[in-house]
């Protein structure tokens, strides 16, 4: 096991009816900037619950944070926050609203352009406090310090790390009205978050391995019912809990991590606008196949423990396991090939070019470079 430091102070407030509890978490004297997405929360009752909970607080509303939130939108939110002297941010929505709110909270205490903070992490010092009400299980943003921010001018998409949310409210009932595609992308996102922390070396930590496999097996177990459209509280609660636990550091203690699939996926979002979770479902089978020599032991362990797949010939086993993984993503209703999603050869070439330009060496062994990225994308054409 590798040495590690683990620290996650986020307070999770989980369960039906929990939104009413936010008033106790935000000091009465705070001036609260509420940040929202496109308006679906006005239809499912979440907006009303938040407003009701904060009826004694001074609030300002910022609407219109888009999927794959852009710094262009965030700049406007920071302007509003500074103009109204808000000193607390409450993000209400999916991972995009939460991610944007991390940069908004950081931008509140930064004089320059928020994009500086994304490009140059050392400039980041501090955020104003913020909390979240998450309505879409997927990114895990509700219990980590990370965000992914896009720039619509440059068609770039980068990670940004700030402080943890003070608290996050997870009410599974808020997920009941999610469209099928968003649920599918959330399930894929959760699954691949674990794979990035798990599908690396063997024998680093038997406990972390089992915890990761627990989330993978649980997602596999509940996905058919969720995909069918069942509205089952316990299933949605399990989905929500799994998504949060998949990217809060709980499964990453002392083990290597990969994240090559994510960085390739980010480019597919930046260049083609494909939803984040969907890009991961497309790319992961390619990463597994192309990197199979380095990941062999873990691929076999994953296949056996999560899908009950074994074969005396390793190459055949890997083929079956990669196919099963792709089949799982298909079963969610996702198209898993680039061509099915309208991605052209020129996009593959541009991603390879960007990887070469940035001199990327990704993955647990730093062996995923522009050439490997090209092979991965060609495998999933």
In order, the DSSP letters of 113-180 are -HHHHHH-GGG------EEEEE-S-SS-GGGSSEEEEEETTTTEEEEEE-PPPSEEEE-GGGGTT--H
Longest alpha-carbon distance in the chain = 66
Helix (H, G, I), strand (E, B) or coil at 319: helix
Size of the site for a copy of itself (CB under 8 A): 42
- Other beta carbons less than 10 A from residue 272's beta carbon: 17
**Stretches 84-92, 121-129, 247-255, 285-293: which one binds a copy of itself (CB under 8 A)?**
247-255
Residue choice 138, 178, 222, 321 for contact with a copy of itself (CB under 8 A): 222
**Stretches 199-207, 270-278, 295-303, 339-347: which one binds a copy of itself (CB under 8 A)?**
199-207
CA dihedral over 17, 38, 100, 5, signed as positive or negative: positive
Q: Does 241 bind a copy of itself (CB under 8 A)?
A: yes
Q: Does 205 bind a copy of itself (CB under 8 A)?
A: yes
Residue with tokens 């469209």: 179
Question: What φ, ψ does residue 92 adopt, rounded to 5°?
Answer: -125, 110
**Stretches 10-18, 76-84, 285-293, 358-366: which one binds a copy of itself (CB under 8 A)?**
10-18
Nearest-angstrom CA–CA distance, 77 and 75: 5
Query: Measured from the CB of residue 365, what is the shortest distance to a copy of itself in angstroms?
Result: 20
Residue 79 or 203 with smaller CB distance to a copy of itself: 203
Residue choice 78, 217, 272, 281 for contact with a copy of itself (CB under 8 A): 217
Nearest-angstrom CA–CA distance, 195 and 71: 29
Residue 263 or 300 with smaller CB distance to a copy of itself: 300
Q: Are strands 146-151 and 156-161 parallel, antiparallel or unpaired?
A: antiparallel
Q: Which 81-100 residues touch a copy of itself, going by CB under 8 A? A: none
Q: Does 13 bind a copy of itself (CB under 8 A)?
A: yes
Residue choice 1, 109, 123, 231 for contact with a copy of itself (CB under 8 A): 1
Residue 8 or 314 with smaller CB distance to a copy of itself: 8
Q: Does 253 bind a copy of itself (CB under 8 A)?
A: yes
Residue choice 215, 299, 300, 334 for contact with a copy of itself (CB under 8 A): 215
Residue choice 58, 72, 177, 214 for contact with a copy of itself (CB under 8 A): 214
CB-based contact 98:147 (threshold 8 Å): yes
Nearest-angstrom CA–CA distance, 206 and 335: 33
Q: Does 3 bind a copy of itself (CB under 8 A)?
A: yes
Residue with tokens 């968003």: 182
| Tokens at 30, concatenated | 């705070």
Q: Does 206 bind a copy of itself (CB under 8 A)?
A: yes
Q: Does 176 bind a copy of itself (CB under 8 A)?
A: no
Given the rule CB under 8 A, which residues bind a copy of itself?
A: 1-18, 172, 203, 205-207, 210-211, 213-215, 217-218, 221-222, 233-234, 237-238, 241-242, 245, 250, 253-254
């Amino acid at each position: 096991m590798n040495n590690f430091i683990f620290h996650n102070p986020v307070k999770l407030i989980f369960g039906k009816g929990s939104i009413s509890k936010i008033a106790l978490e935000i000091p009465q004297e705070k001036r609260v900037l509420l940040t929202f997405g496109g308006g679906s929360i006005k239809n499912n009752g979440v907006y009303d619950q938040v407003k009701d909970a904060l009826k004694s607080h001074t609030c300002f509303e910022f609407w219109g944070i888009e999927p794959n939130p852009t710094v262009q939108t965030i700049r406007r939110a920071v302007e509003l926050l500074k103009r109204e002297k808000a000193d607390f941010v409450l993000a209400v929505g999916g991972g995009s609203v939460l991610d944007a709110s991390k940069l908004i909270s950081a931008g509140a205490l930064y004089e320059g352009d928020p994009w500086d903070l994304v490009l140059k992490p050392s400039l980041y010092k501090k955020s104003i406090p913020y909390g979240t009400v998450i309505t879409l299980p997927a990114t895990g943003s509700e219990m980590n310090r990370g965000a992914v921010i896009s720039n619509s001018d440059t068609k770039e998409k980068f990670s940004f790390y700030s402080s943890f949310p003070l608290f996050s409210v997870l009410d599974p009932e808020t997920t009941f009205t999610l469209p099928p595609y968003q649920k599918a992308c959330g399930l894929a996102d959760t699954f691949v978050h674990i794979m990035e922390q798990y599908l690396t070396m063997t024998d680093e930590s038997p406990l972390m391995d089992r915890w990761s496999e627990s989330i993978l097996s649980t997602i596999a177990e509940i996905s058919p019912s969720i995909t069918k459209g069942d509205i089952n509280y316990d299933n949605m609660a399990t989905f929500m809990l799994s998504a949060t636990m998949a990217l809060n550091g709980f499964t990453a203690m002392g083990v290597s991590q990969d994240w090559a699939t994510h960085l390739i996926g980010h480019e597919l979002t930046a260049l083609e606008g494909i939803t984040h979770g969907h890009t991961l479902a497309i790319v992961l089978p390619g990463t597994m196949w192309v990197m199979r020599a380095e990941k062999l032991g873990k691929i076999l362990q994953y296949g056996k423990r999560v899908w009950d797949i074994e074969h005396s010939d390793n190459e055949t086993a890997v083929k079956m396991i990669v196919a099963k993984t792709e089949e799982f993503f298909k079963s969610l209703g996702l198209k898993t090939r680039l061509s099915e999603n309208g991605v052209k050869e020129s996009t593959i070439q541009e991603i390879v070019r960007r990887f070469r330009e940035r001199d990327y060496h990704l993955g647990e062994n730093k062996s995923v470079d522009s050439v490997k990225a090209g092979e991965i994308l060609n495998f999933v054409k």
